[in-house]
Amino acid sequence: MTRSSLNLDEQEHFAPFKYDDQDFDLSHLDSHTVDYIHKSPGKSDIQYRFYVTYGMHCFAKDYDDLTAADREKLLYHANKESRPFCFRRYHLSKKLRSIIGNLPNEFVFHGGYSAYATCKAQDINGDEVEYYGSFSVFRQKKKLRIHVMSAYPLDESLGKRKKVGFFNIARAVKQNNKLPSP
């Protein structure tokens, strides 16, 4: 995986968040490329290069119970919006590059709203949690794109979900075909 610079419609770099004289590095959410290789016995390998961006919902959340002072202290300003920083989402977001880089081996399912999702990650204590990472897959400027819209721990299981093969998604977007639907 390498870092990209594409002049995309999404934020490509996140500055560190400063809180109580401590910096929280967000460079793991900077845009980058991922090359996926689809190997099939008896066939030529197919390479898919995706340009990946992340939304601030991967590390921010607006809580109803925050006081105005707490909200202001936690406010992170991005290009398109400002939202309170969430320490739990932040720590889990450090897993996103690895999850995205491993999508062909992850359990990918329909996440609603024309998006896909994947679950399961380890939290800061090493405990496995249901981790909902919602992402869209599309073409932009003839490039294959993945945009991780949001990622957060779930309070309860989503129940049974039907798997969608990541390479089915990749092939459809590369060929400008309709994406797999539920």
pTM of the predicted structure, to 2 decimals: 0.90
Which one is predicted more confidently, 95 or 159? 95
Q: What is the pLDDT of residues 81-105, one digit of tens each?
A: 999 999 999 999 999 999 999 999 9
> Which residue in 153, 152, 179, 155 sits closest to 165, CA to CA?
179
Q: How many CB atoms lie within 10 A of CB 9?
A: 12
Q: What pLDDT sits at residue 171?
A: 96
Domain ranges of the chain: 2-174
In the predicted model, is pLDDT for residue 164 greater than 60?
Answer: yes
Q: What pLDDT sits at residue 2?
A: 45
Q: What is the pLDDT of residues 109-150, one digit of tens each?
A: 988 777 888 877 877 888 888 888 999 999 998 899 999 999
